[in-house]
Amino acid sequence: MANVAVIGAQWGDEGKGKVVDWLASRADIVVRFQGGHNAGHTLVVGNETYKLSLLPSGLVRGKLGIIGNGVVVDPEALLAEIDRVRAQGLPVGPESLRIAENATLILPLHGALDRARETARGDARIGTTGRGIGPAYEDKVARRAIRVCDLAEPDTLSAKLDELLLHHNTLLAGLGAETFAKQALLERLLSLAPRLLPYAEPVWQRLDEARRAGRRILFEGAQAVLLDVDHGTYPFVTSSNTVAATAAAGAGVGPGAVGFVLGIAKAYSTRVGAGPFPTELFDATGQLLGDRGHEFGTVTGRRRRCGWFDAALVRQAVKVAGIQGLALTKLDVLDGLAELKIATGYRIGAERFRHLPAAPGAQAAAVPEYETVEGWAGSTRGARSWADLPAQAVKYVRRIEELVEAPVTLLSTSPERDDTILVRDPFEG
């Protein structure tokens, strides 16, 4: 049996939460391996709706959840999320959740810097959530980050805060923002330590033992390939690598342990925040997709921009992320549309491209080239087999497979976890 890595194949918000929840019933352990609490997964289980930002989705199914070293952890946000899901009746404690002792912490100063920078950018702002994810990753790379394990060593924590505040207070003052006092921050962190440290351990060791024992591991990505700091629409990206290769480094396992790579894509396209979006629709159809799809970000609450399915970009995601199969979600949102369009490439001036170039100017100038396909009159909502789908809906899915050069291995037809058509079990490899 193979392990499985689930990643977004567009700009995020593709429905990873439902797919991970569905796959978690076949897994033993679910691991978050990158990102921070700027990610959002909504899981509908019976009459209960869970909105998760840091907690691995598998916890809802009673699976062991692990937050890997590749995640940047806001301790107060994490503890608040734990309290919230506990109030919904979900038991979460050190027996069901483990956190990498070497994971980087997000501190209040990171969020303050994030927001101050966005304000200073004005109309050129990137559209971050302002939660400090980027500045925390910067500190990690600059080797001044405070990590979970530092909470157990007050002297180490104090010395690290000196260096951290020297850097951040200088930047905050330059941006006209309020600076931070060391003693208050130190006391705040030490007060959190007794609640956070019981979850901490060398998770790489636990994962190695699980792998040797033949247990199934599900690696849960946040954001998506087109937001990858290297491969996405830079600079309108997140601050971590979101491709499947990061699952190994972000969890502390060898690359061979990652297993089958499942990419999640909507049957159309959406994006939250600023940045290029070649197939974006500004007409009634775009409004219809947003209304039917309930397109509001789980974390941001912002309405998502909507557009036609971009096969060129998903094909690019398939290549750079090593996606072996797609889970196509929200097919039912397209029900009743007379015709649909799929972007197959772009035109920039006189040149044609099968991919989106890396240069920001070229990305902004890219005009999609569309292929028009017939829509369907019947309903796909709640379908659980190919036989339940209208013939034109099947043709639409098959055409997407051809254009993105990857098979659809799983098809989601509603928010309910069981309204899923399984073509190939990813855990079978």
What value does the mean pLDDT take over residues 313-340?
A: 96
DSSP letter string, 148-194: GGGGG-HHHHHHHHHHHHHHHHHHHHHTTPPP--HHHHHHHHHHHHH
Domain residue spans of the chain: 4-99+200-260, 104-196, 265-428
The alpha carbon dihedral of 63, 68, 74, 75 has a sign of positive
What value does the mean pLDDT take over residues 379-394?
A: 94
Task: Return d(Cα 144, Cα 127) in angstroms, integer.
Answer: 26
Can you give the pTM of this predicted structure? 0.93
Q: Which residues pair with 217 in a beta bridge?
A: 29
- Segment 400-413, tens digit of pLDDT: 999 999 999 999 99
- For residue 302, pLDDT over 70 is answered with no
Lowest mean pLDDT of 138-152, 179-193, 271-285, 291-305, name the range: 291-305
- For residue 44, pLDDT over 90 is answered with no
Task: Return d(Cα 376, Cα 361) in angstroms, integer.
Answer: 37
pLDDT class for 258, splitting at 50, 70, 90?
A: very high
Q: Are 217 and 257 in contact (CB under 8 A)?
A: yes
Q: Which two tokens stand for residue 64?
A: 């062991």
Share of the chain above pLDDT 70, in %: 98
Q: Provide the H-helix boundaries in 322-390.
A: 360-365
Task: Return d(Cα 115, Cα 104) in angstroms, integer.
Answer: 20
409 alpha carbon, distance to own chain's centre: 20
Q: Which residue has the higher pLDDT, 111 or 302?
A: 111
Calculate ∠ Cα 222-228-232, nearest 5°: 135
Average per-residue pLDDT for the chain: 92
Q: Which residue of the set 21, 28, 37, 41 is catalytic?
A: 41
Q: Are 279 and 427 in contact (CB under 8 A)?
A: no
- For residue 298, pLDDT over 70 is answered with no
pLDDT class for 127, splitting at 50, 70, 90?
A: confident
- For residue 105, pLDDT over 80 is answered with yes
To which H or E segment does residue 367 belong?
strand 367-374
Helix (H, G, I), strand (E, B) or coil at 86: helix
Q: Which residues pair with 348 in a beta bridge?
A: 351
Task: Return d(Cα 289, Cα 4) in angstroms, integer.
Answer: 30
Q: What per-residue confidence (pLDDT) applies to 65?
A: 96
Tell me the fold of 104-196.
Adenylosuccinate Synthetase, subunit A; domain 2 (1.10.300)
What value does the mean pLDDT take over residues 110-117?
A: 92
- For residue 43, pLDDT over 80 is answered with no
Contacts of 99 (CB under 8 A, 6+ apart): 66, 67, 73, 148, 196, 199, 200, 201, 203
Q: Which two tokens stand for residue 338?
A: 């007379």
8 alpha carbon, distance to own chain's centre: 6
- For residue 283, pLDDT over 90 is answered with yes
Contacts of 205 (CB under 8 A, 6+ apart): none
DSSP letter string, 119-145: HHHGGG-----SSSHHHHHHHHHTT--
The alpha carbon dihedral of 42, 14, 248, 71 has a sign of negative
pLDDT class for 416, splitting at 50, 70, 90?
A: confident
Residue 226 burial class via C-beta count within 10 angstroms: exposed 0-12, middle 13-18, buried 19 and up? buried
CB atoms within 10 A of CB 387: 8
Query: In the block, which residue shows the tokens 């909502």?
Result: 381
Q: Which residue has the higher pLDDT, 98 or 125?
A: 98
344 alpha carbon, distance to own chain's centre: 25
Query: In the block, which residue shows the tokens 């019981």?
Result: 198
pLDDT class for 299, splitting at 50, 70, 90?
A: low
Contacts of 220 (CB under 8 A, 6+ apart): 6, 16, 20, 30, 31, 32, 33, 56, 57, 58
- Highest-pLDDT range among 44-53, 103-112, 116-125: 103-112
What value does the mean pLDDT take over residues 203-209?
A: 97
Give catalytic status of residue 355 as yes or no.
no
Write the class of the CATH domain 265-428.
alpha beta
Query: In the block, which residue shows the tokens 């927001």?
Result: 115
DSSP state of 103: P
Q: Are 9 and 224 in contact (CB under 8 A)?
A: yes
Give catalytic status of residue 155 as yes or no.
no
Q: Provide the H-helix boundaries in 197-349.
A: 203-212, 246-251, 284-292, 311-321
- For residue 369, pLDDT over 90 is answered with yes
Lowest mean pLDDT of 42-46, 63-67, 144-148, 377-381, name the range: 42-46
Q: What per-residue confidence (pLDDT) applies to 126?
A: 78
Q: Which residue of the set 13, 21, 228, 310 is catalytic?
A: 13
Q: What per-residue confidence (pLDDT) applies to 211?
A: 94
Question: Pairing relation of β-strands 29-32 and 217-220?
Answer: parallel
Tell me the fold of 4-99+200-260.
Adenylosuccinate Synthetase; Chain A, domain 1 (3.40.440)
